[in-house]
Chain A
Amino acid sequence: MTVVAVRRRFAIDRGTGAGAAIVVVLLALAAVAPFISAGNPETMDFNAILTGPGGAHPLGTDNFGRDVLTRVLFGLRVSMAAAIGSVAVALLIGVPLGLLAGYRRGWIDAVIMRPTDVLMAFPAIVLVVALAGVFGQNLGLMILTIGCVYAPIIVRVMRGAAMEVGTALFIEGARARGASHLRVMVRHVLPNAISPVLVQASALMGVAILTEAALSFIGLGVQPPTPSLGLMLSEGRSYMGDAPWLVIAPGLGIVLAVLGFNLLGDGIPRLFDPARRVRS
């Protein structure tokens, strides 16, 4: 199938297609990083400190003589893991809670939403920093932390969508056919309400990449010498004047990843709406 045929099949517009392509390529690069890169991202070479792009080091080396291309590829792994992991955590927490709150309303809604509102009142980055400070600084914990901090956003979006869908006549119709509340929620409300949540989730992917970068940048995320895009930015900052490739390469990586997820998110509603999907 050609690119055009694939796009027709799934009714994907140009922007969504580009976003999907970027995300797929970055994910693939992150997945195969250990196999395609020249060496270890932590191997230092003191004979090649801060060499410019070209030759044996296509993107140059840093102040320890480490290959920037290798480090960017490995850094991408961390960033992608952080983005996907934390958004998955946010969805796992947020979707059931938001669905329940929006569909059942009343006191259930109040019990779920009050703490959610309190959490949302804090700036996310402050919470992440505080939690990272308390729980320490390994990647797994960081993913959990970012996920928990973004869960309230998912809860809110899911609740709003579930509330709207919950009042639809076909929901009452499903109940009149003898479906239980659980079945109605999972089978009828969720599929019709999930689309805005997924849009939000893809936007959060970009935000999570930035959050990981920010955390690593201020030293609360991934610890050196493990490469992460944010950490590389932070370390490269001191040499920015003499060796701009140290910040350009990871910076571009972050920009591309965020752009890819955002473009992809724009196209999601189409995929979940039968009326807007092209029948083949």
Chain B
Amino acid sequence: MTLLAVKDLRTEFRTDGGWHAAVNGVSFTLEKGEILGLVGESGCGKSTVASSLMRLLPGNARIGGGSVRLDGADLTALPEAEMRKLRGRRMGMIFQNPMTALDPAFRIGGQIEETLRAHLKLDRATARAQALSLLQAVGIAAAEERLRAYPHELSGGMRQRVALAIAMSCNPDLLIADEPTTALDVTIQAQILHLIRSLLVKDRGAGALLITHDLGVVARVCDRVAIMYAGEIVETGPVAAILGAPLHPYTQALLRAAPSDRAARGQLPTIPGRVPPLTDRPAGCAFRERCGQAVAVCATPEARARHLPMPGREVTCVRHAA
């Protein structure tokens, strides 16, 4: 069942020259019980997608068009007060840097209880008991004691567990994880990803949007993946299919550039050129100038059409036009 349906989402930032789209016509869907990876290099707009879904954009940004439907209801049209009731309740979010994601002035327990009490109207004792079982669920030892700890007394991995406990405290339908493991070492990373998969997605049937630039993470936990480039999704499909046989030249280049045992012995391949700046996006395919396979039609608007070369896969590249 479709949990989240994003259609033609356009998020714009104000610059001296006017409004420019950092997210330019992004569409994807997320099913219940599914983890969708959103992959792209720094500055491609993947975090802006996350902020747009939560409607927590900075003051110089706005949603310029498109729709975000959560169980059919368009979030972009919701009044702020309604949106606020959804945040933390039906949509949980965790961030890249667990070191600063918790309020340093309050004890862990209080921060979990705050969310529970605000959304579920629990009394103090019930909230406390709930907080304790949440901490235990995310695998924190001596949970009772940790409830009274301040964030600075916990390690990065523990803090991310606490952040996850807060995000899942109200049984959200959707978890948005913005590079949740980038700042953690590999073993902790695996544990956190496993928690997201087992606790939230498998046990509770929630959907998760996992934003990352790490294809290894995608291979390990995601069901499907969407590849983003310069504010657009260039390719979507099941993880195994995309990692095994990428269709878009950018995905192919990205996979070649991923460090592997083979590459570690020689020089790591890179993608030549750079992402076109926000204020100067070309009319056709944004990857055209870095693509080794570009043809004349790539410079026309036609190049931005989506094609469905096989069931479950979508690619924005003229080479795959039927």
Contact = CB atoms under 8 A, between A and B. Distances in A.
Please determine whether chains A and B interact with each other in the same assembly: yes
A173 B100 CA distance: 9
Interface string B208-221: 00000000000000
B266 interface: no
Contact of B84 (A180, A192, A273): A180
8 contacts: A106-B59, A170-B101, A174-B103, A175-B56, A177-B166, A177-B167, A179-B84, A274-B152
Contacts of A172: 56, 95
A178 B100 contact: no
Interface string A178-189: 111000000110
A170 B103 contact: yes
Contacts of B84: 178-180
B59 A177 contact: no
Residue from B105, B114, B150 with most neighbouring chain A CB atoms (10 Å) = B105
Interface stretch (B71-79, B85-93, B272-280, B282-290): B85-93
Contacts of B200: none
A169 B115 contact: no
Contact of A169 (B59, B101, B106, B118): B101
B87 A178 contact: yes
| Size bin of chain A's contact surface | 20 to 34
A188 B115 CA distance: 13
Interface in A186-220: 187-188, 191-192
B32 interface: no
A151 B102 CA distance: 31
B100 A274 contact: no
B100 A169 contact: yes
A25 to B, nearest CB: 31
A191 B150 CA distance: 14
B150 A178 contact: no
Given A178-B84, A274-B150, A274-B152, A173 B119 contact: no
A178 B103 contact: no
Given A172-B95, A275-B150, A177 B101 contact: no
A270 to B, nearest CB: 14
Interface of A: 105-106, 168-170, 172-180, 187-188, 191-192, 272-275
A187 B118 CA distance: 13
Contacts of B106: 191
Report the 7 A-B pairs with minimum CB-CB distance, sorted nearest first. Answer: A177-B88, A178-B88, A178-B87, A176-B93, A191-B105, A275-B152, A169-B100
Contacts of B102: 170, 173
Contact of B100 (A168, A273, A275): A168
Interface of B: 54, 56, 59, 84-89, 91-93, 95, 97, 100-106, 114-115, 118-119, 150, 152, 163, 166-167
A169 B95 contact: yes
A172 B55 CA distance: 11
Nearest to A192: B105
A191 B91 CA distance: 27
A174 B88 CA distance: 9
Nearest to B56: A175
A55 B97 CA distance: 70
Given A177-B87, A177-B114, A178-B89, A170 B56 contact: no
Contacts of A173: 93, 95, 101-103, 163, 166
Contacts of B92: 176-177
A188 B103 contact: yes
Given A105-B59, A176-B92, A177-B88, 6 more contacts: A170-B104, A175-B54, A175-B56, A176-B56, A188-B103, A274-B150
A192 B103 contact: yes
Contacts of B150: 274-275
A95 to B, nearest CB: 16
B240 to A, nearest CB: 31
B104 A178 contact: no
Contacts of B118: 177-179
